[in-house]
């Protein structure tokens, strides 16, 4: 696909232009870095990984699926904003692709509604954003409308879709170039930390125990994971007993109640089985089903784990 | 004609009455609620010593005096379902801290006339009577109280939120307070409060009681690694829910 060039000095102008095309979401630093609506282009912060991934915009923490009263279902009618994301890393982008697969499997209308009419603009990392980045092990795809590659005085912008290219042309700030993005530019140095292997035969290994012992079941790993999509669905009954809301909220396989079923039975009673389920779902089961690992190697689950449970070392030793 | 609406009574023993106040904060819903239930007793509205027969009794407060015990047992006798309302009823909360401190260490600080008050060992209400359901929290979430009333009327099975506070806290995009080297009891405390304290950057003190699934040794190791002493950790955990967390005393004598 075509490559364009944007002068570094023109980035602010470009962001202002994007802000006029829809709601612009980009990393902003307050106490932590989060994807937030970018009001002022000077607030853009690209030096760290965002604490919270972008998934909340497509798969919100809490979402009303529909309301019902007596035997009538009332669908939620809300205007969907056109959103433009800027500053997504290669891992964040791949995570969106993997969630597309997961929610696409059953053609989830609630996800699709929010995911439609978004433009994804990536920003390639030139160095590791933190110690536990292991995207280099995960063979991440090119999945974007546009991708920024930082050079000394300008950005090279790789076009990933027609809608991305239209946007660049409309901005009148970029010029086309014959230079192509090299393979090396797409790889972040020192991030090939995880040895990929068939975990199937290691389920009963004793090596997991040292990790499980430290787990406090706070579910930070799954909540902050850009690909985890497990949720629970509950009815919110108001006192009036009218217009009951059926809500979908984030949940986590790390919680005991998540695998609880009627009859007071719990499928994954032990912390160990829950912990292993996460690792296996991310690095084994999803690949067996969809041909690609769910995990994208962003390392948030290690960086933000209060006891810093580092499963990379353990998997490498298996 | 006799009404078929279920009857509900609210009762109060030793406590600050904050739980009842929490219920009253549902101003709009209470009016709607009266279409579903008949409130036969509520201390703020009508002060009455009489304890009536009710379908559901909500009990606020802990047992700290012989009178408390009497009232509680009478309420239990006359209620088909007994709900512990708030942290005092559930864990004995702050007033229950007396359980962990020898009296001679604070007796000299007490006013003269307080010595005349007859007290017994403070304890949560389930130490004395059978409790059918618990609404935790100091104070409890006002929505949770009203929801429990609705669900009881609908004869739905009541279910407590059992996941730790951390789940809701991170769902709200909060920065983790453990990362700031503060003793936050989020990982071992039952949520359902929508992380109201940590949303305001105030660490969790565990008012909703410990989760069934907590990994206490790992949590203590984590805090010790951050430089806190066993004493710091013990004091923090027993402050609100010590009586519901006997493991703490085993691990941190």
From first to last of the 253 residues of chain B, give the pLDDT tens digit: 456 889 999 999 999 999 999 999 998 888 888 888 898 999 888 777 788 899 999 999 999 999 999 999 999 999 999 999 999 999 999 999 988 888 888 888 888 888 788 889 999 999 999 999 999 999 999 999 988 888 887 778 888 889 999 999 999 999 999 999 999 999 999 999 999 999 999 999 999 999 999 999 999 999 999 999 999 999 999 999 999 988 888 887 7
B237 and B217, same structural domain? yes
B146 and B243, same structural domain? no
Instruction: For residue B94, tell me if it sits in a domain.
Output: yes
B234 and B118, same structural domain? no
Instruction: For residue B1, tell me if it sits in a domain.
Output: no
B228 CB burial (10 A radius; 0-12, 13-18, 19+): middle
Range of the domain at B174: 165-251
Crossing angle for the helix pair B216-225 and B230-241, to the nearest 10 degrees = 130
Q: Do A216 and B222 touch (CB under 8 A)?
A: yes
As a three-state string, the secondary structure of chain A is CCEEEEEHHHHHHHHHHHHHHCEEEEEEECCCEEEEECCCHHHECCCCCCCCCHHHHCCCCEEEEEEEECCEEEECCCCCCCEEEEEECHHHHHHHHHHHHHHHCCCCHHHHHHHCCEEEEEECCCCCCCCCCCHHHCCCCCCCCEEEEECCCEEEEEECCHHHHHHHHHHCCCEEECCCCCCHHHCCCCCCCCCCCCHHHHCCCHHHHHHHHHCCCCCHHHHCCCCCCCEEEEEECCCCCCCEEEEEEECCCCCHHHHEECCCEECCCCHHHHHHHHHHHHHHHHHHHHCCCCCCCCCHHHHCCCCCCCHHHHHHHC
Q: Do B36 and A307 touch (CB under 8 A)?
A: no
Instruction: For residue B160, tell me if it sits in a domain.
Output: no
pLDDT value of position A240: 84
B173 Cα to chain A: minimum distance (Å): 7
Among A218, A262, A274, A300, most B C-beta atoms within 10 A, so best to mutate, is: A218
A257 vs B contacts (CB less than 8 Å): 162-163
d(CA A179, CA A156): 9
B141 and B215, same structural domain? no
B144 and B196, same structural domain? no
Provide the 3-class DSSP secondary structure of residue B14: strand
A167 Cα to chain B: minimum distance (Å): 31
A270 Cα to chain B: minimum distance (Å): 9
B170 and B132, same structural domain? no
B40 and B128, same structural domain? yes
B119 and B33, same structural domain? yes
pLDDT value of position A292: 94
B229 and B137, same structural domain? no
Question: Rounded to two decimals, what is the model's pTM?
Answer: 0.91
pLDDT value of position B152: 80
Q: Do A271 and B222 touch (CB under 8 A)?
A: no
Among B153, B175, B207, identify where a domain stops.
B153
Q: Do A218 and B172 touch (CB under 8 A)?
A: no
Q: How many domains does chain B have?
A: 2
Predicted confidence (pLDDT) per residue in A84-121, tens digit: 999 999 999 999 999 999 999 989 999 999 999 899 99
- Contact yes or no for B62/B125 (Cβ under 8 A): yes
Instruction: For residue B159, tell me if it sits in a domain.
Output: no
Q: Do A256 and B162 touch (CB under 8 A)?
A: yes
pLDDT value of position B147: 87
From first to last of the 318 residues of chain A, give the pLDDT tens digit: 799 999 999 999 999 999 999 999 999 999 899 999 999 999 999 999 999 999 999 999 999 999 999 889 999 888 888 999 999 999 999 999 999 999 999 899 999 999 998 999 999 999 999 999 999 999 999 999 999 999 999 999 999 999 999 999 999 999 999 999 999 999 999 999 999 989 989 999 999 999 999 999 999 999 999 999 999 999 888 888 888 999 999 999 999 999 999 888 999 999 999 999 999 999 999 999 999 999 999 999 999 999 999 999 999 998
A255 vs B contacts (CB less than 8 Å): 162-164, 167, 213
Among B92, B125, B153, identify where a domain stops.
B153
B176 vs A contacts (CB less than 8 Å): 220, 304, 306
- Contact yes or no for A191/B163 (Cβ under 8 A): no
Instruction: For residue B247, tell me if it sits in a domain.
Output: yes
Instruction: For residue B86, tell me if it sits in a domain.
Output: yes
B97 and B72, same structural domain? yes
B242 and B143, same structural domain? no
Which domain CATH number covers B40?
Answer: 3.40.50.700
Q: Do A237 and B151 touch (CB under 8 A)?
A: yes
B173 and B92, same structural domain? no
Place of tokens 């920003």: A123
Instruction: For residue B182, tell me if it sits in a domain.
Output: yes
Among B123, B153, B183, identify where a domain stops.
B153
């Amino acid at each position: 696909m075509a490559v364009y060039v944007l002068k570094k000095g023109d980035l602010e102008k470009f962001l202002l232009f994007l802000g006029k095309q829809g709601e612009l979401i980009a990393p902003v630093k307050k106490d932590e870095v989060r994807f937030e609506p970018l009001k002022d282009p000077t607030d853009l912060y690209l030096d760290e990984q965002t604490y919270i991934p972008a998934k909340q915009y497509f798969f919100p923490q809490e979402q009303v699926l529909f309301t019902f009263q007596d035997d009538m279902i009332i669908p939620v009618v809300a205007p969907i904003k056109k959103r433009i994301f800027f500053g997504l890393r290669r891992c964040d982008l791949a995570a969106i692709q993997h969630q597309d697969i997961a929610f696409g499997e059953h053609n989830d209308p609630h996800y699709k509604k929010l995911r439609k009419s978004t433009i994804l603009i990536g920003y390639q990392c030139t160095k590791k954003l933190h110690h536990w980045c292991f995207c280099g092990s995960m063979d991440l795809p090119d999945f974007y409308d546009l991708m920024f590659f930082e050079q000394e005085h300008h950005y090279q912008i790789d076009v990933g879709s027609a809608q991305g290219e239209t946007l660049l042309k409309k901005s009148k700030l970029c010029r086309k170039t014959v230079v192509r993005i090299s393979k090396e530019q797409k790889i972040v140095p020192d991030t090939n930390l995880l040895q990929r292997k068939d975990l199937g035969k290691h389920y009963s290994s004793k090596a997991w125990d040292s990790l499980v012992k430290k787990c406090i079941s706070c579910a930070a790993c799954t909540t902050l994971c850009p690909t985890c999509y497990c949720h629970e669905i509950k009815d919110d009954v108001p006192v009036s007993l009218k217009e009951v809301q059926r809500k979908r909220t984030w949940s986590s396989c790390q919680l005991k109640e998540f695998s609880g079923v009627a009859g007071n039975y719990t499928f994954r009673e032990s912390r160990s089985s829950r912990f292993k389920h996460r690792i296996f779902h991310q690095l084994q089961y999803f690949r067996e089903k969809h041909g690609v690992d769910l995990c994208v190697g962003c390392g948030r689950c290690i960086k933000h784990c209060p006891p810093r449970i580092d499963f990379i070392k353990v998997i490498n030793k298996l | 004609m006799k009404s078929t609406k279920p009857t509900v009574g609210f009762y109060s023993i030793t406590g600050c009455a904050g739980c009842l106040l929490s219920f009253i904060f549902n101003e709009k819903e209470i009016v709607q609620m009266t279409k579903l239930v008949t409130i036969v007793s509520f201390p703020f509205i009508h002060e009455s010593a009489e304890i009536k027969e009710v379908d559901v009794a909500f009990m606020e407060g802990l047992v700290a005096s012989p009178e408390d015990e009497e009232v509680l047992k009478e309420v239990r006798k006359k209620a088909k379902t007994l709900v512990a309302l708030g942290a005092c009823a559930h864990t004995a909360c702050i007033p229950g801290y007396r359980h962990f401190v020898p009296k001679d260490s604070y007796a000299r600080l007490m006013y003269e006339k307080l010595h005349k008050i007859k007290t017994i060992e403070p304890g949560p209400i389930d130490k004395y009577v059978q409790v059918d359901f618990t609404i935790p929290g100091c104070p409890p979430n006002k929505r949770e109280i009203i929801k429990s009333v609705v669900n009881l009327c609908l004869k739905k099975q009541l279910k407590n939120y059992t996941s730790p506070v951390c789940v809701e806290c991170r769902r709200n995009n909060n920065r983790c307070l453990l990362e700031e080297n503060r003793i936050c009891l989020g990982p071992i405390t039952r949520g359902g409060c929508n992380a109201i304290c940590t949303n305001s950057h105030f660490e969790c003190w565990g008012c909703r009681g410990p989760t069934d699934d907590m990994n206490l040794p790992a949590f203590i190791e984590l805090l010790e690694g951050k430089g806190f002493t066993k004493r710091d950790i013990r004091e923090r955990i027993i402050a609100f829910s010590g009586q519901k967390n006997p493991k703490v005393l085993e691990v941190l004598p």
